A and B are shown apart, each in its own frame.
Chain A
Amino acid sequence: MTQLDGSALAARLRAGDRTAAPDVLNLVESRTPAARVQADALLRGVSPAALGAEAGGHVVGVTGPPGAGKSTLLSELVRAWRAAGRTVAVLAVDPSSRRTGGALLGDRARIAYDPRDDGVFIRSTAAADRLGGLAPSTRAAATALAAAFDVVVVETVGVGQSETDIAELADTVAVVVQPGSGDTLQFLKSGIMEIPDVLVVTKADLGDIALRARRDLSAALRSVGERETAVLAVSSVAPATGIDELIAALDAHLAHTDVAARRVRARRATALADFTAEHGERGLRALGGRREAQRWLAAQNPACDVPSLVGGLEARTVSA
């Protein structure tokens, strides 16, 4: 196989060429040493330094328990975003078990789109070992695609655990729950779960039970002193309802967020995650522990890209 060229792919993304997306994913998913070098080049090529600003795409995390209706909701969101002329990339992280090494990735089946429309890109990836964990390539992919797509959705499965990962990566996190899911309520109240930016109750077509769920969740948020989070009810059953309101809520969150600060945080968290994936606990100890590593990262230039940050950490283990 010919090795993909990371700098060339970055140039295409910077020029708004969305047809680069499949190869971008092929590259960041690839674990050969040659591919890793190219993937680093790709990320440098879409870093704030290369772009002159943070990438323009809105990275939206969509997460929630299995069966909550995420994929059907995404189908409606994609339709609405396209109708508004916004391009969308969906990175679906599938929770399938990797017991046999392989995984069944079925999620794109539930997202309807026009195959002739190059404004939509959908890629499924098997999750990391733990439920809701991001595949290592997903962070890199989301960062890169945000340079060429208006919206980049990262879809994960889980409740209570996955929000941390996704919150490190996304500009806006939407947690999706279905009516009658008491877990979410408990997790919110007890502080197990991070507070989402937007909370979506699906299956509003069920009527009273969905309205009650929405009320209960709003009350739970108020009880922990959280008044910013929008709570919305949507239905993906024809005729779909609440989708435009959800998009407005996502946009409103973005408008009130210091995106640059969030992205800097995300890059530093990604660098630490990548470093740990590569060098393990032993590597962390060589840096003087996780907190020490975080302190070092916090002191770096905010525009610094992930490969440079990882390289910096690695250099410190050598000098230590």
Chain B
Amino acid sequence: MSHRLPERDKPWMMRTYAGHSTAAKSNELYRSNLAKGQTGLSIAFDLPTQTGYDPDDELARGEVGKVGVPVAHAGDMAALLDGIPLDRMNTSMTINATAAWLLALYVVTAESQGVEQAQLSGTTQNDIIKEFLARGTYAFPPGPSMRLIADMIAYTVEEIPKWNPINICSYHLQEAGATPVQEIAYAMSNAIAVLDAARERVPADRMSAVFARISFFVNAGVRFVEEHAKLRAMAVLWEQLGRERYGVTDEKALRFRYGVQVNSLGLTESQPENNVQRIVLEALAVTLGRDARARAIQLPAWNEALGLPRPWDQQWSLRIQQVLAFETDLLEYPDIFEGSKVMEGLVGELLEGARAEMAVVAEHGGAVKGVDYMKAALVDSHRERIRRIEDGEQIVVGLNRFTESEASPLVEGVDGGIMTVDPAGEAQQIEAVRAWRSGRDQAATDAALAELARVAASEGENIMPATIAAARAGVTTGEWSRTLREVFGEFRAPTGVGDAAASLNGSADLAALRDEVDRVSEALGRRLKILVGKPGLDGHSNGAEQIAVRARDVGMDVVYEGIRLTPEQIATSALHEGVHVVGLSILSGSHLELIPAVVTQLRERGVDVPVVVGGIIPDADVQPLKAAGVAAVYTPKDFDITRIMQDIVRLVAERGGVSTAA
């Protein structure tokens, strides 16, 4: 084989994960991104759309149009894709619990453009197990959720053959702290659960076609050599799985296909310009070797740990891809790691570890039943990662080493280097969805929802035709979801923290803190008790979980109820539980709406305890939060959790009239 390719490879598909405020504004953004050379779309939906609530739902408060675009009905989807020819576009939708619904809206929008569903290509993320494990935008219990996924696979493989009905996501597992071995093992176990469910709903001779349509969505961290090996290991396991478990023989169907968004967990708020080189190196992890190169890439922006990226920040990330693809010689060679001892050794190590861990998941009954086990294992891994950073074992430049810095001109502008979403947008969306409801044929809507409920309750029927009919009839996202919630029931995923092993190890600081907690608890009369709460729809619970586990490890009683709570629920829990302090975590940008609401609810109930807040909180928002009664605000640069705990104990001691430590 020659060391050169006869012909330069075509670049991967280039996307930017984007969407905010309204369908019209996002459409504008998509068009300008495409004009800049982006080759595919990646739609970010807001949290109400992802979790199945209309903009006027109580739970949607503060979240409408924040982390993505609100799509409440077919009219919104048409506005979002206006002027974009869907027969030629490849669209990735980050949508899970409500994936069947958003795909239906996409199909109906294509219809209105005169495009048949069979011509559509793209991806619905649709991976619910990782929502239970890491991301938190689930809506229904595990059983019905897996049925919806299988229904979509069975439907698309016949009717929308170029569609990837599901992206098995290892991405979010790494964000939740997974080691490379865990990332591989849990993603593959997840794939097995999905394929086993699909096998129940498609004829045996179609399994090869199904297998060929399953793609992955992975992560790449800054240890880019090992990260590349991880992808090669996944390709080996995938092919083996196809051959041995599902009898697939078609070589093309056995290929491991993946898209990627590189790591956000490792991006820092301190010296944020360093994130650019991190992103570049991570992009190499998924492009260097031709045998395991990504099919589609989207890169985060340098300022993600600060707030929402602006169009210019996203352009910078797109340009990184373009330089890599068009200026370097990367695409001119066959696989550059063939015969590499290092790569072979790394892949071997990872395969061995992943197979062992997959066996453990299988012993727990597979990925669906093993969610509790995997969740607790991830919380433990993440805790270990934080400990290494706190102890300086793992170096993060600008965070725990080389922290001396000049002022960054990048964050000096009037906007602080981030985008802010106009809070007035929410009111407009509320009005818009009400106008939509009053303007439609209500009888047709009711009939479509009745049919949807009937199909949902009938185990053997595919949900897609009734869902597409509902989209045509003008049903809204909240109505579709509510109908299914009524049939399927609701669900709360495990928090993982209860099963995380108690740790008595740690630094001298930790031991001293434990003594201080004991001392303050004795003076207060009962053990220091903290409520850790996540208000709103944000499902990114890693931070809250780590705070909960550490609080327990320093000797506090911890009440943690998981994600998606209203301010009223949090305040009521704080009252009932008699906590001494409330810690709130929020990453979706809705802190200015939700945190003051929690404080108000607490005070209304006579709960006068300190409230501390952690999350992605821009500098400019810290003062307003403090004015609303918040005692302390922590952001990603406060990586030392022990220090946060010291603050909390001091706040409780002061409020309780306990003398501070000698």
Q: How far is the CB of A2 from chain B (nearest CB, A)?
A: 9
- Asked whether, in the complex, the Cβ of A22 is within 8 Å of the Cβ of B578, the reply is yes
A25 within 8 A of B: yes
A89-114, CB under 8 A of B: which get 1 and which 0?
00000001101111111101110100
The verdict on A1 contacting B656 (CB below 8 Å), with A100-B553, A101-B514, A115-B566 known, is yes
Q: How far is the CB of A129 from chain B (nearest CB, A)?
A: 14
- Asked whether, in the complex, the Cβ of A103 is within 8 Å of the Cβ of B557, the reply is yes
Q: Residue of B at shortest CB range from A110?
A: B492
Using C-beta atoms within 8 Å of the partner chain, give the interface range for chain B: 35 or more
- Asked whether, in the complex, the Cβ of B526 is within 8 Å of the Cβ of A31, the reply is yes
Of the candidate stretches B29-37, B178-186, B337-345, B568-576, the one touching chain A is: B568-576
B550-574, CB under 8 A of A: which get 1 and which 0?
0111111111111000101101110
- Give Cα A110–Cα B502 distance, bound, in whole angstroms: 22
Which among A96, A106, A122, A237 is the interface contact of B576 at CB below 8 angstroms?
Answer: A122
- Give Cα A68–Cα B460 distance, bound, in whole angstroms: 29
Q: How far is the CB of A183 from chain B (nearest CB, A)?
A: 19
- Asked whether, in the complex, the Cβ of B492 is within 8 Å of the Cβ of A21, the reply is no
Which among B141, B495, B517, B562 is the interface contact of A101 at CB below 8 angstroms?
Answer: B517
The verdict on A30 contacting B525 (CB below 8 Å), with A97-B502, A115-B571 known, is yes
The verdict on A237 contacting B489 (CB below 8 Å), with A22-B575, A108-B573 known, is yes
Which among A25, A31, A99, A109 is the interface contact of B502 at CB below 8 angstroms?
Answer: A99
A20-62, CB under 8 A of B: which get 1 and which 0?
0110011001111001000000000000000000000000000
- Asked whether, in the complex, the Cβ of B504 is within 8 Å of the Cβ of A100, the reply is yes
Residues of A within 8 A of B446 (CB): none
- Give Cα A112–Cα B565 distance, bound, in whole angstroms: 11
- Asked whether, in the complex, the Cβ of B568 is within 8 Å of the Cβ of A101, the reply is no
- Asked whether, in the complex, the Cβ of A115 is within 8 Å of the Cβ of B525, the reply is no
- Give Cα A238–Cα B555 distance, bound, in whole angstroms: 38
Could you tell me which residues of chain B, from 533 to 565, have a CB within 8 Å of some CB in chain A? 548-549, 551-562
Residues of A within 8 A of B557 (CB): 102-103, 105, 126
Q: How far is the CB of A279 from chain B (nearest CB, A)?
A: 20
B498 within 8 A of A: yes
B527 within 8 A of A: yes
- Give Cα A197–Cα B313 distance, bound, in whole angstroms: 66
Residues of B within 8 A of A100 (CB): 502-504, 514, 552-555
- Give Cα A121–Cα B657 distance, bound, in whole angstroms: 28
Which among B518, B548, B568 is the interface contact of A115 at CB below 8 angstroms?
Answer: B568
Could you tell me which residues of chain B, from 188 to 243, have a CB within 8 Å of some CB in chain A? none
B524 within 8 A of A: yes
B347 within 8 A of A: no
B577 within 8 A of A: yes
Could you tell me which residues of chain B, from 569 to 593, have a CB within 8 Å of some CB in chain A? 569, 571-573, 575-578
Which among A22, A31, A104 is the interface contact of B552 at CB below 8 angstroms?
Answer: A104
Residues of B within 8 A of A102 (CB): 517, 527, 551-558
- Give Cα A106–Cα B548 distance, bound, in whole angstroms: 11
Residues of B within 8 A of A22 (CB): 575-578
Number of interface residues of A (CB under 8 A): 34
A123 within 8 A of B: yes
- Asked whether, in the complex, the Cβ of B559 is within 8 Å of the Cβ of A124, the reply is yes
- Asked whether, in the complex, the Cβ of B569 is within 8 Å of the Cβ of A238, the reply is no
B155 within 8 A of A: no
The verdict on A25 contacting B578 (CB below 8 Å), with A99-B504, A102-B551 known, is yes
- Asked whether, in the complex, the Cβ of B553 is within 8 Å of the Cβ of A21, the reply is no
B488 within 8 A of A: yes
- Give Cα A100–Cα B518 distance, bound, in whole angstroms: 10
Could you tell me which residues of chain B, from 457 to 512, have a CB within 8 Å of some CB in chain A? 487-490, 492, 495, 497-498, 500, 502-504
- Asked whether, in the complex, the Cβ of A21 is within 8 Å of the Cβ of B526, the reply is no
Q: Residue of B at shortest CB range from A240?
A: B489
- Give Cα A25–Cα B529 distance, bound, in whole angstroms: 13
- Give Cα A102–Cα B518 distance, bound, in whole angstroms: 10
- Asked whether, in the complex, the Cβ of B526 is within 8 Å of the Cβ of A29, the reply is yes
- Give Cα A110–Cα B498 distance, bound, in whole angstroms: 13
- Asked whether, in the complex, the Cβ of A238 is within 8 Å of the Cβ of B518, the reply is no
Residues of B within 8 A of A291 (CB): none
Which among A32, A97, A101, A124 is the interface contact of B555 at CB below 8 angstroms?
Answer: A101
Q: How far is the CB of B516 from chain A (nearest CB, A)?
A: 11
- Give Cα A124–Cα B517 distance, bound, in whole angstroms: 20
Q: How far is the CB of A84 from chain B (nearest CB, A)?
A: 21
Which among B492, B548, B555, B576 is the interface contact of A104 at CB below 8 angstroms?
Answer: B548
- Asked whether, in the complex, the Cβ of A29 is within 8 Å of the Cβ of B556, the reply is no
Residues of A within 8 A of B553 (CB): 100, 102
Q: Residue of A at shortest CB range from B486?
A: A238
- Give Cα A110–Cα B553 distance, bound, in whole angstroms: 23
B635-657, CB under 8 A of A: which get 1 and which 0?
00000000000000000000011
Residues of B within 8 A of A25 (CB): 578
- Asked whether, in the complex, the Cβ of A101 is within 8 Å of the Cβ of B489, the reply is no
The verdict on A116 contacting B568 (CB below 8 Å), with A122-B576, A124-B577 known, is yes
Q: How far is the CB of A234 from chain B (nearest CB, A)?
A: 15
Q: Residue of B at shortest CB range from A96?
A: B498
- Asked whether, in the complex, the Cβ of A106 is within 8 Å of the Cβ of B502, the reply is no
8 shortest A-B CB distances, which residue pairs? A238-B489, A101-B555, A30-B525, A115-B572, A109-B561, A32-B525, A102-B552, A115-B568
**Which residues of A are at the interface with B, using a C-beta cutoff of 8 A?**
1, 21-22, 25-26, 29-32, 35, 96-97, 99-106, 108-110, 112, 115-116, 121-124, 126, 237-239
**Which residues of B are at the interface with A, using a C-beta cutoff of 8 A?**
141, 487-490, 492, 495, 497-498, 500, 502-504, 514, 517-518, 522, 524-527, 548-549, 551-562, 566, 568-569, 571-573, 575-578, 656-657
16 contacts between A and B (CB under 8 A): A21-B576, A26-B526, A31-B526, A99-B502, A102-B552, A102-B555, A102-B556, A102-B558, A108-B577, A112-B490, A115-B568, A122-B573, A124-B559, A238-B141, A238-B487, A238-B490
Given contacts A106-B497, A121-B576, 16 further A-B contacts (CB under 8 A): A31-B522, A35-B525, A99-B502, A100-B514, A100-B553, A102-B555, A102-B556, A103-B558, A104-B552, A105-B577, A106-B560, A108-B561, A115-B572, A123-B578, A126-B557, A239-B489
